[in-house]
């Protein structure tokens, strides 16, 4: 979901951006019109997240999936496969597991902790890294199961790496705790098609010679994300979203806004007899709130879910099905979701419960 004001501004400028007489979809990425767009987006991101100067900000293509390979290759890649380095991944669900699986092509992946035995309904205790770990990887917010790392693991001198795709800019984040943060744009930042990578300089220049150029951080750093044609339109929309966040009061305001929405929804679920949140309280996401019918009968449950989704859609509430891999229901309450949207959902849930 994107702020309506952002979409309206984009629509107003779609045929002619600024004084260019061209659409942002048409201007040259090497021209003077695009430079302020990408530099402005980087500058706003640095300001909002308080990113120190020894971290680079990259605007790349290929989504989180590309970073699942780029992270091990750039931070821990080696010239010959037999010298593979060790890295730690914590298994908190599908996205962490996919990242670990992809990394396994390039590094020895160790998974010392997992919440799989609890259906991923909590964040597991995070053991300390081994001294020889090249990095320590967590998925900061788990969209499918609705968990979030409320307390970051202590990794000492081992760089902490995180996929923050689904929670970036939802609240303040201490960038200095991380060696690398990446985030696909499509949750809180803008349209699908751009991934932001924030990487500390000391771990950003070690890609082996066989690294595809497009996966090589060193190249993108040197070329300021303009090594090849960037996704100009996505970066333009990201800039508008960042401006909207700044004008709304920055990340402190986002945190207040998102905490209020999440508290309202979790309270509703915790007070319900028909519905429940499957997630342990200490691990709950601010962004993704899965919920299920609190009943045993699988057939009845499936029918109720179907009826819930149907009636919700009629009431104008879409995208409430749980992820296809886990089923159930899920409300995604990203930055752009207004508190009124959450209140409307709560009214609907309460009404559904009364009539069920």
- Could you say whether residue 1 binds its own copies (CB under 8 A)? yes
Taking the C-alpha atoms of residue 209 and residue 183, their distance in angstroms, rounded to an integer, is 26
- Could you say whether residue 86 binds its own copies (CB under 8 A)? no
Please say if 163 is a catalytic residue: yes
- Could you say whether residue 325 binds its own copies (CB under 8 A)? no
Q: How many CA atoms lie within 13 Å of 287's alpha carbon, on the beta-carbon side? A: 25
What SS3 class is residue 5? helix
What SS3 class is residue 88? strand
Per CB under 8 A, the list member of 106, 120, 217, 291 interacting with its own copies is: 106
Residue numbers 188-247 binding its own copies by CB under 8 A: 190-194, 209-215, 227-234, 237
Instruction: Point out the catalytic residue in the list 148, 163, 233, 244.
Output: 163
Pick from 114, 131, 144, 78: nearest CA to 328: 144
What SS3 class is residue 289? strand
At its nearest, how many Å lie between its own copies and the CB of residue 234? 6
Pick from 314, 289, 294: nearest CA to 147: 289
Structural contact between residues 333 and 251, judged by C-beta atoms closer than 8 angstroms: no
- Could you say whether residue 152 binds its own copies (CB under 8 A)? no
Residue 189, C-beta contacts closer than 8 angstroms, at least 6 positions apart: 168, 169, 183, 196, 238, 241, 242
- Could you say whether residue 62 binds its own copies (CB under 8 A)? yes
Please say if 270 is a catalytic residue: no
Please say if 297 is a catalytic residue: no
- Could you say whether residue 310 binds its own copies (CB under 8 A)? no
Binding window for its own copies (CB under 8 A); candidates: 44-52, 58-66, 154-162, 274-282: 58-66
Please, which residue, 81 or 298, has the CB nearer to its own copies?
Answer: 81
- Could you say whether residue 326 binds its own copies (CB under 8 A)? no
Taking the C-alpha atoms of residue 254 and residue 256, their distance in angstroms, rounded to an integer, is 5
* Interaction site with its own copies (CB under 8 A): 1-2, 4, 7-8, 10-12, 14-15, 20-23, 25-26, 28-31, 61-66, 68-70, 73, 81, 102, 105-106, 184, 186, 190-194, 209-215, 227-234, 237, 316, 318-319, 324
- As annotated, the active-site residues are 95, 163, 187
């Amino acid at each position: 979901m994107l702020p309506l004001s952002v979409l309206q501004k984009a629509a107003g400028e779609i045929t002619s951006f600024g004084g260019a007489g061209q659409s942002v979809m048409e201007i040259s990425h090497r021209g003077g019109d695009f430079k302020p767009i990408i530099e402005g987006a980087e500058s706003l991101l640095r300001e909002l997240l308080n990113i120190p100067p020894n971290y680079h900000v990259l605007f790349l293509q290929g989504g989180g999936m590309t970073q699942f390979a780029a992270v091990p290759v750039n931070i821990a890649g080696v010239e010959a496969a037999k010298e593979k380095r060790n890295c730690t991944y914590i298994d908190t669900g599908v996205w962490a597991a996919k990242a670990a699986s992809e990394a396994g092509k390039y590094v020895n992946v160790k998974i010392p902790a997992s919440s799989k035995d609890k259906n991923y309904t909590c964040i597991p205790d995070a053991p300390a890294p081994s001294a020889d770990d090249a990095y320590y990887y967590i998925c900061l917010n788990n969209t499918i199961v609705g968990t979030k790392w409320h307390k970051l693991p202590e990794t000492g001198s081992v760089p902490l790496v995180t996929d923050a795709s689904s929670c970036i800019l939802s609240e303040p984040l201490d960038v200095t705790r991380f060696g690398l943060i990446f985030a696909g744009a499509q949750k809180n930042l803008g349209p699908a098609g751009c991934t932001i990578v924030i990487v500390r300089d000391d771990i950003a220049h070690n890609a082996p010679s066989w690294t595809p150029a497009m996966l090589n951080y060193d190249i993108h750093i040197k070329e300021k994300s303009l090594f090849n044609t960037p996704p100009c339109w996505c970066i333009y929309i990201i800039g508008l979203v960042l401006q909207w966040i700044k004008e709304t009061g920055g990340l402190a305001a986002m945190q207040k806004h998102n905490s209020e929405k999440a508290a309202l929804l979790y309270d509703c679920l915790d007070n319900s007899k028909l519905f429940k949140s499957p997630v342990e309280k200490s691990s709950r996401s601010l962004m993704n709130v899965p919920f299920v019918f609190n009943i045993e009968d699988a057939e009845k449950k499936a029918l109720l879910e179907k009826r819930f989704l149907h009636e919700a859609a009629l009431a104008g509430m879409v995208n409430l099905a749980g992820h296809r891999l886990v089923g159930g229901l899920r409300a995604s309450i990203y930055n752009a979701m207004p508190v009124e949207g959450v209140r409307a959902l709560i009214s609907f849930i309460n009404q559904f419960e009364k009539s069920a």
